[in-house]
Amino acid sequence: MKTKNIIFMIIIVFALQGLVIALIPPPPVDQRIGVYDSNFANFTEYKCRGCHTAGVPDDHHSLVPTGEYQCTNCHPVLPNGSGITMVRNCMQCHDTTFNGMVVPRPHHETKDAQDRHCSRCHGNLVNDYDDNHIIRDGPPSSMTPDTKYRAINTTSGRKWGGCEACHEQNTTLEPPISFNNKTHHRLGSLSGFNPQNSSKCAVCHGNHSSPYGSDYIRYCEQCHGFESLHSIQYDFTNTSGQKGYGHIGDGNFDCNGCHASYIAGEVAPGASVITPVINNLSTSKVYAEAVTVLTINGTNFVTTFDGVMHTSVVIVTDGINSTTLTPDSITPSQMVVTMPALIQEELYGVYALKNGSVKSNKLPLVSTPLVKVSFANKIGTTITINGSGFGLSYDPLYSDWYNVTIKNGDISRNISITNWSETMVVVTSTDAASGDIATVNSINGANSTTVTDG
């Protein structure tokens, strides 16, 4: 287990290094914070597992007890009875159909996304349209950023005065960094391209007869208000005087990127609580009913701005109920929290909440039952095994993984299962004896005990 974890950590380290491209200053910008700026179409199983690092089977198996799905839906039995289907590539199901099920594209078909509450997952790298942030009305001034750029320096080729000054595409990287219209246009039904629904364009654009055109920055400001934009800076503590790490680093380079003609000489207004970002969790799977110490790596968990220190707590939420956890230790780049036992079988999200109001991005965390056999009692030919986390029911078609064994050394006893519930399995056996080892294998794991006479 330990070596497995270490190997896993090494893989993570390489995976993260793959994402961090040392191109300072932009364009294109580094990919240290937020979601990698690519198209959904470029997402592969490997990318999904970058955030869903562990507990993917459990994510799915938690849907069985709710009665929504059965084993057969996702693991159909092969026609010749030679086994069951085991698909591991996310994209073979998500965003397509599998075994007659229409499995939606993830994330952007959720209610939060459709309701334009993007900050629920992206944190305060963006605003929500209804969070009362300031959007100045009136015409753009000479310093208002453009969605693309305002000016181009013919000698250096550098753009000024808009997002495209830094957020440019780079098709030579793997996966490629996409242009801003691509990252925003491929969000499933949210974008209005697929399926076609032109009313959705208004999420980000005005109509063509709008006084300042359909690409006017004011529409973008519904999500990219100046306060959230002025609070984006990777590793603020160490980079605030340097250019290319965000929006408020080196004054003239960074401010001019958006403001073109504007000469910096002051602190960007609205900036104060620099947005924290989580890069990874030490695990994305925990056992229900167990206390877990979770290490959270990222950036800007504590920062000092204008002499005032802002610090974070950790929120664990299932979308309805939230638990607030005060870290045992905190540095700008790491928090350690002791998580109390969570309830069984659920998909949670974890994020940092800074200064009581500013959210980081969210990462998934699944809580799964721990399989525990407390005793196995034998009376006559009946053996009753008690414990927890066995799973709700038994299906002989899936008995390769989901079963009970009773063994004396290497010798397997003949058994037949007569009853199966979450906390108790009853088997009959004519040859089992006290002193044998009884094991329950369930989709949640396996555990054993010694058979005793009851």
Nearest to 257 by CA among 248, 266, 265: 248
Residues β-bridged to residue 162: 146
CA nearest neighbour of 358 among 110, 124, 8 = 124
Site string for ligand HEC, 415-444 (x = CB under 6 A): ----------------------------x-
Binding ligand HEC (rule: CB under 6 A), the pick from 116, 237, 297, 382 is: 116
Contact with ligand HEC (CB under 6 A): which of 57, 65, 76, 176? Answer: 57
Cβ nearer to ligand HEC, comparing 207 with 381: 207
B/e letters for 126-146, b = 16+ CB within 10 Å, e = fewer, are bbbbeeebebeeeeeeeebbb
**Pairing relation of β-strands 403-408 and 411-412?**
antiparallel
By CB under 6 A, is residue 35 in contact with ligand HEC?
yes
Q: How many residues bind ligand HEC (CB under 6 A)?
A: 122
**How many Cβ atoms are within 10 Å of 89's Cβ, its own excluded?**
11
The tokens describing 379, both together, are 């009376």
Q: Which 305-334 residues touch ligand HEC, going by CB under 6 A?
A: 319
Among 245, 301, 390, 420, binds ligand HEC (CB under 6 A): 245
> At residue 420, what is the residue type?
W
Q: Is 52 in the site for ligand HEC (CB under 6 A)?
A: yes
Tell whether residue 372 is a contact of ligand HEC (CB under 6 A): no
**Residue with the two structure tokens 């996966």:** 175
Residues 162, 258: Cα–Cα separation, whole Å: 5
Q: Which is nearer to ligand HEC, 88 or 450 (CB)?
A: 88
Each residue 70-109 as x (binds ligand HEC by CB under 6 A) or -, in order, gives: -x-xxx-----------xxxx-xxx---x--x-xx-xxx-
Should residue 121 be labelled a site residue for ligand HEC when binding is judged by CB under 6 A?
yes
- The reply to whether 254 sits near ligand HEC by the rule CB under 6 A is yes
Q: Which of residues 193 and 375 has its CB atom nearest to ligand HEC in the complex? A: 193
Q: Which stretch binds ligand HEC (CB under 6 A): 118-126, 282-290, 301-309, 432-440?
A: 118-126
- Which residue do the tokens 């073979």 mark? 92
228: nearest Cα among 215, 247, 244, 205: 247
Query: Which residues ranging from 275 to 294 are in contact with ligand HEC (CB under 6 A)?
Result: none
Cα distance between residue 439 and residue 166, in whole Å = 58
Residue count (the chain): 454
Query: According to the binding rule CB under 6 A, does residue 61 interact with ligand HEC?
Result: yes
